[in-house]
A and B are shown apart, each in its own frame.
Chain A
Amino acid sequence: MFFNQERGQWRFKLITSISIISLILFIVGDVLGIVCLFFNPNLGKTIFGIVLFFPAHFLILLALVLMVWSGFQGIVSDGSEKFKSWKETLTNAFLGIVIVGIFILLSDLTLLNVPFGIHLLFSYSFLLLLLFCSQVYRRWLAIPEEDRYARFIALLEEIIPIQFQEEWLGDLQEQHNQLIDEGIPHWKVSFITLLTGLGLIRSYLWLKFHKLVSRWITRANKVFLG
């Protein structure tokens, strides 16, 4: 047991170090690549910039994979059982990384002709957002499974006005229970419930916006049409 914990901690330190080095290399490579591509570019600099760009993005993907993996190792080496299923964690991490990777590659392809400040703003703000989300996700995982749904409903109750809660949240709860009764896998039920919750927030925002626009139109009609 001691040997396993020791080995886990070593692995944790090693993976964390590699992920930090990868992240630093990415930042250096990305900034250099942008400078080469956008500041007085010539053929040599452009080729060098492109050559730097792609390995840099490979490195950030690697860094993110390793960060998630090191987080997992760190928790497992504590001997706690916060992660019920490591497969679920890795699948989520993989999905997150694919989304970040696609975003960065797309932003590179579409923003190549735009000042590099915008590229930096988009890439790094997205990176910070991802790190924030990973923290939220880790805390979310630490909550006991049966409490997660109750907390989600409590969060929706905070957002959605009281006059819609009985109908909307009632429908959401009924759908949730129906899905469980149908024997749909737990992760899928959670995912559908999350999407439904986001849909309810969207409905609320639509109604709010609609009310606002209607008020503007009424006022404009009074002013211009009498």
Chain B
Amino acid sequence: MKKNQDSIFDLSPKEEAVLTSVFYRERYGLEIIEAVKEASGGKIKLGFGSLYPTLHKLEEKGYLEARWGDETPEERGGARRRYYRITGLGVKVLAQKKQFLDDLAGWEPAWGGV
């Protein structure tokens, strides 16, 4: 239980971005890089050097799961794509984080001021 409570602080901004990118649909590595880049207006650029370790960590924590795609596109030299999708635990952690940030923004001292 303690681990679950701490897990929202266990997410780095990069991990949060990757996890959010697969919130509504499954994506593969290059697609995640493009999604993060486009959504941030080009301000956040995930490199291949940080993407795969991040995916690995998220998979290890149980927030993501992966499957091999069926298609073998020619532009990939016939290699299959590996698709990642968020798990129930991943959704829960993102919701907890959002809830925490909302609570934090709206927090007011009970005694009327600090």
Residues of A near any B CB (own CB < 8 A): 164-175, 177-178, 195-196, 198-200, 202-203, 206-207, 210
The 8 closest A-B pairs by CB, nearest first: A170-B79, A199-B49, A199-B48, A202-B49, A203-B52, A170-B76, A177-B75, A167-B82
- From known contacts A169-B79, A203-B48, infer whether A174 and B56 are also in contact, taking CB-CB under 8 Å: no
CB of B84 to closest CB in A, whole Å: 10
Name A166's closest neighbour in chain B (CB-CB): B79
Interface contact B80-A172, CB-CB below 8 Å: no
- Kindly provide the distance from the CB of B66 to the nearest chain A CB, expressed in whole angstroms: 9
Name the residue in A166, A172, A198 with the highest tally of chain B Cβ atoms < 10 Å from its Cβ: A166
Among A167, A168, A172, A178, max chain B CB count under 10 A is at A167
Contact call A199/B47, Cβ cutoff below 8 A: yes
> Contact residues of B with A, CB < 8 Å?
28-30, 47-53, 56, 73, 75-77, 79-82
Which residue from A165, A170, A196, A198 sits with its C-beta under 8 Å from B81?
Answer: A170
CB within 8 A of A207: which of B28, B29, B56, B77?
B56
CA distance A165 to B80 in the complex (A): 10
Of B28, B53, B76, B77, which one neighbours A203 at CB under 8 angstroms?
Answer: B53
* Contact assessment for A172 and B53 in the assembled complex, using a CB-CB cutoff below 8 Å: no
B76 to A168, Cβ gap below 8 A? no
Q: Which residue of B is nearest A209, CB measured?
A: B53
What's the nearest-Cβ distance from chain B to residue A195, in Å?
A: 7
Given A167-B82, A199-B47, A174:B52 Cβ within 8 A: no
Q: How near does chain B come to A215, taking the closest CB pair, in angstroms?
A: 14
Contacts of B52 in A (CB 8 A): 164, 168, 200, 203, 206-207
Check if B48 sits within 8 Å of A172, measured CB to CB: yes
User: With A167-B29, A171-B29 in contact, is A198–B56 under 8 Å at CB?
Assistant: no
Alpha-carbon distance A167/B113, docked complex (angstroms):
55
A222 to B51, CA, bound (A): 31
Q: Are B80 and A166 in contact (CB under 8 A)?
A: yes
Contacting pair A173 B77 (CB below 8 A): yes
Beta-carbon contact of B49 and A178 below 8 Å:
no
A170 x B48 contact (CB < 8 A): no
A94–B82 Cα distance when bound, in Å, is 41
**B76 x A174 contact (CB < 8 A):** yes
- Give the distance in Å from the alpha carbon of A98 to the alpha carbon of B79 in the complex: 40
Write the chain A residue with the least CB distance to B66: A167
